[in-house]
Structure 1
Amino acid sequence: MSTLMVQGTTSDAGKSTLVTALCRWLKRQGVAVVPFKPQNMALNSAVTADGGEIGRAQAVQAQAAGLSPHTDMNPILLKPNSDVGAQVIVHGRAVGNMDAVAYHDYKRVAMEAVLASHRRLRDAYQVVMVEGAGSPAEINLRANDIANMGFAEAVDCPVILIADIDKGGVFAHLVGTLELLSPSEQARIKGFVINRFRGDIALLQPGLDWLEQRTGKPVLGVLPYLMDFHLEAEDAVDVRQSAKSEQTLKVVVPVLPRISNHTDFDPLRLHPQVDLRFVGPGQAVPTADLIVLPGSKSVRADLAWLREQGWEAAIQRHLRYGGKLLGICGGLQMLGKCIADPLGLEGPAGQSDGLGLLRFSTTLAAHKQLRNVHGRLRIDDVEISGYEIHAGISDGPALERAAVRLDDGRLDGAISEDGQVLGTYLHGLFESPAACEALLRWAGLKRAQRVDYQALRERDIERLADLVEKHLDVRRLLALCGLPTETGA
């Protein structure tokens, strides 16, 4: 049983992408591989088969490995709810909110959870493919580190270091990161991968030769920049869009300060008939066919921000002109009359007036609802699948006109009597082809094309595995995984 770790010189260097690629490539070789990220800080999360919560990137990596997501794949998840604090989730369950100082002291406990999960995965799979977080050279975070070299040293595993050449300064990133590590950590780096290269590789070769001579470590390969490529973002909002047809539906989403699970909108970004626009602070709200209020980790604070930014007036004007409004999870809660947080779960205890567009109220409770669900969408009575991640309990007469009837007998969300406003707790609702098509028709797209988002994601995972085969030193990779090199011959 072997463990191999991918660390990056920076955030967004390509760690998640490379781990996803290696998981699918090893699966192709018939290797039982499992993804693992000791600590993740992200507001994009997924519900696991064992009823917990992990980072969204690890759920995608699980798909690449042919597995169902499990809480052991990401034992520590930090969900920021302010600039200095976060909700701490251990083995899929929230244990409380901590500021940075308190969490630093908690890291010893967190490391025990990390090592326990790693042991279970190591005992069950041939290869544990580990993703680091940020950079291992963050000097201020080195003490009690559990996300990068602290973990690698604890389990004694080799490390691949990846850097993004598209950002510029790739050799400085690699050499500088190496220089900032301790001698034992430097020895743990077994090779480099350069990501997102465009152009003639012959022009890069002198730099690669210099890098190997300077560090004494091999370059395992150079991955090209992939056009028209999609992999769900770990945290940053992805605003890229695929090519659009002439007939498009204009969809607008506010980028809330604590926006969560914005991967909900990836199927819309990739849809050929949807012009999706994310609107940030200080930007005017453009005209649209559909406004979507997304999920939020701090619903009351984000609702106050929306009002400060002029969104309440813009929404009222949008509805007067016949536009449609959709609220997802925290966005659903904003549509009601009141949001109460008596326990101070997401900030100071208290309550806030909602937008008052649907007759119900929400109270935040200590126990978080975590479910993968299936059901039927009220619009066109089509199948819908998704997942619930919320602490709110909503109640009121508007919920009698449910947006979704779930297979377990529960009702979810609401739709207004005039059909203009719809809200649901379900994340991932646009991933169901029939539900996505129905929602786009409801929003005004007369002839909506059906797009299979799952097939698109699977296509790009396969493309990543192809890149490993073509551009990386597969024999060295197999050796680092403790596997016979003949497997990749």
Structure 2
Amino acid sequence: MATLMVQGTTSDAGKSTVVAGLCRALQRRGISVAPFKPQNMALNSAVTAEGGEIGRSTALQAQAAGVAPHTDMNPVLLKPESDRGAQVILAGKAIGSMQALDYHAYKRRARDTVMECWQRLSSRYDVIIAEGAGSPAEVNLREGDIANMGFAEAIDCPVLLVADIDRGGVFAQLCGTLALISASERARIQGLVINRFRGDIGLLEPGLEWLEQREGKPVLGVLSYLQGLMLDAEDSLSLQQRSEGDDEGMLKVVVPVLPRISNHTDLDPLRLHPRVAVSLVGPDQPMPAADVILLPGSKNTRADIEWLRQQGWEQRIQQHLRYGGRVLGICGGFQMLGEWVNDPDGIEGEPGGVAGFGLLQMTTTMAPGKQLRRVSGRLSTATGSCSIHGYEIHNGVSRGAALEQSLMSLEGRIEGAISADGRIVGTYLHGLFDGPDACEALLSLLGLASAERRRIDLDAHREQQLDRLADAIEEQLDMPAILKLVGKSG
């Protein structure tokens, strides 16, 4: 057993991408490998086969490694609910919400879980590729650290340090990080990786030589900027992008970027579709022309309803429907379509309730005991019936007459709702567009003409993207040196 940890100079430096690429590169060499992220803070999550919750990026890395995602791969997941607090998920199960200072004190208990999960993984796989969180140079978070060097020192593993040149200041990122960590932590770093490089490598080489001489650390590779690479995002950073180009004749889907948006990977198949234009609308931005308004998942449904009201979305939705548009709500977005959202136990904040948009006759009550399950069933529309699969992650229980007109059946129960005129649709199912048949049927329901539909197979796309990433890793990183760090030969 060997563990190699990938840390970054900043958030979004490319740690998740490098880990996924290394997992796939090792898997293709016949090496038994698994990903591991001791602590993650993200609102995009996945449900494992045993009914636990882990970060979405870790689940993708498991796919890259050719293994089933497991809660041991991400022992601590923090899902922000406010600027100061987050839901804490330990070994796949929610244990409650904590303010930042409370969690800082709790990390001793979390550390035990991290070590137990890592030990179990280590007994099952030959190589573990671990991923840090944020940066190891965050001096205010050093005490009790379990996400970066605290973990690496506890298990005595080598570290690769990744920096993003596309942000600018890549030499300052690397030199500054190395200057701010302790001598023992610095010694642990066995190589530097520069990510997202564009241009002529010859112009960079003098800087690489200077860096190696100054820091005494080898640069193990420069990864090119992979144009169009699309992998499951860890958090909401990727939502800064917006569909570009001519959308004439396309199904126009508009998505408000909620402050606590979660599982926005539901949008990935729509982004890939050549006849769907997805527009992401942030705070104080005008709403473009739309055929469909899609209300995504939310980690704090009541707060995000209030935010939508303040931003004028309630009036936008009403006007959109008057002009014949359609609305789709997923999970938290589905709850918003109802008449009321109650939270008597304060699961998502202070106890209380808020009026929904009143578009579906139903009421949602937040209740202890999060629903976590992977499910499959049948989706029935006017054009026929097809299989559908996905996963559920929610606390709310919805009841009301609207649910009698269900959208689908999942393992013997009805799920979701659709209005009598078919223009308002809601479901708790995440990943509803992932299957090619379900995606085609749902887009038909949302108004895309049959002549414009295309089969989008998200899983096949992920596999292609992971292989493309692994090809770049093999070509541009010093794989013999990396293999040596995990006790393997080239």
The residue that corresponds to 2:401 in the other structure is 397
The answer to whether structure 1 residue 272 and structure 2 residue 283 are counterparts is no
Distance across 2 between alignment mates of 1:409 and 1:438: 21
Distance across 2 between alignment mates of 1:242 and 1:456: 21
Specify the SS of the correspondent of 1:378: strand
The residue that corresponds to 2:219 in the other structure is 219
Greater Cα shift, 320-329 or 446-455: 446-455
The answer to whether structure 1 residue 477 and structure 2 residue 475 are counterparts is no
The residue that corresponds to 1:350 in the other structure is 352
Give the letter for the 2:210 counterpart: W
Distance across 1 between alignment mates of 2:314 and 2:96: 32
Give the letter for the 1:292 counterpart: L
The residue that corresponds to 2:465 in the other structure is 460
Greater Cα shift, 231-240 or 286-295: 231-240
Distance across 2 between alignment mates of 1:226 and 1:276: 22
- C-alpha deviation, 1:164, in angstroms: 0.6
C-alpha contact 1:296 1:329 (8 A) present in aligned 2: yes
C-alpha contact 1:8 1:162 (8 A) present in aligned 2: yes
Q: TM-score, normalised to structure 2's length?
A: 0.97
C-alpha contact 1:242 1:270 (8 A) present in aligned 2: no
Distance across 2 between alignment mates of 1:309 and 1:212: 50
C-alpha contact 1:244 1:273 (8 A) present in aligned 2: no
Give the letter for the 2:475 counterpart: K
C-alpha contact 2:81 2:299 (8 A) present in aligned 1: yes
Specify the SS of the correspondent of 1:381: strand
The residue that corresponds to 1:171 in the other structure is 171
Specify the SS of the correspondent of 2:347: coil
The residue that corresponds to 1:145 in the other structure is 145
The residue that corresponds to 1:301 in the other structure is 303
Specify the SS of the correspondent of 2:388: strand
1:377 to 363, 375, 379: 379
- C-alpha deviation, 1:354, in angstroms: 1.1
Unaligned runs of 5+ in 2: none
The residue that corresponds to 2:125 in the other structure is 125
Distance across 2 between alignment mates of 1:383 and 1:237: 30
The answer to whether structure 1 residue 423 and structure 2 residue 421 are counterparts is no
Specify the SS of the correspondent of 1:286: coil
Q: CA RMSD in A?
A: 1.1
- C-alpha deviation, 1:442, in angstroms: 1.8
Distance across 2 between alignment mates of 1:243 and 1:250: 12
Give the letter for the 2:374 counterpart: N
Give the letter for the 2:355 counterpart: D
- C-alpha deviation, 1:355, in angstroms: 1.0
Distance across 1 between alignment mates of 2:176 and 2:378: 54
Distance across 2 between alignment mates of 1:317 and 1:424: 22
Distance across 2 between alignment mates of 1:450 and 1:165: 36
C-alpha contact 2:243 2:279 (8 A) present in aligned 1: no
Q: TM-score, normalised to structure 1's length?
A: 0.97
Give per-residue Cα distances to partners, 1:31-82, cap 9 Å, x unaligned: 0000000000000000011110000000000000011111000000000000
Distance across 1 between alignment mates of 2:234 and 2:48: 16
C-alpha contact 1:244 1:272 (8 A) present in aligned 2: no
Distance across 1 between alignment mates of 2:98 and 2:141: 16
Distance across 2 between alignment mates of 1:283 and 1:374: 37
Distance across 1 between alignment mates of 2:221 and 2:248: 40
C-alpha contact 1:242 1:271 (8 A) present in aligned 2: no
Give the letter for the 2:400 counterpart: G
- C-alpha deviation, 1:244, in angstroms: 6.5
Distance across 2 between alignment mates of 1:181 and 1:101: 23
- C-alpha deviation, 1:457, in angstroms: 1.1
The residue that corresponds to 1:185 in the other structure is 185
Distance across 2 between alignment mates of 1:420 and 1:233: 30
The residue that corresponds to 1:310 in the other structure is 312
Specify the SS of the correspondent of 2:205: helix
Distance across 2 between alignment mates of 1:242 and 1:302: 27
Give the letter for the 1:329 counterpart: C
May I ask how many residue pairs the two structures share in their alignment?
A: 484
1:34-433 maps to which residues of 2 (within 5 A)?
34-235=34-235, 236-238=237-239, 239=241, 241=243, 246-379=248-381, 380-406=384-410, 408-433=411-436
Give per-residue Cα distances to partners, 1:176-212, cap 9 Å, x unaligned: 1001010000000000010011111111111111111
Change in 2 beyond 3 A, CA 1:338/1:9: same
Sequence identity percentage: 64
Distance across 1 between alignment mates of 2:198 and 2:248: 30
C-alpha contact 1:342 1:350 (8 A) present in aligned 2: yes
Greater Cα shift, 93-102 or 380-389: 380-389
Segments of 4+ in structure 1 off by > 4 A? 240-246
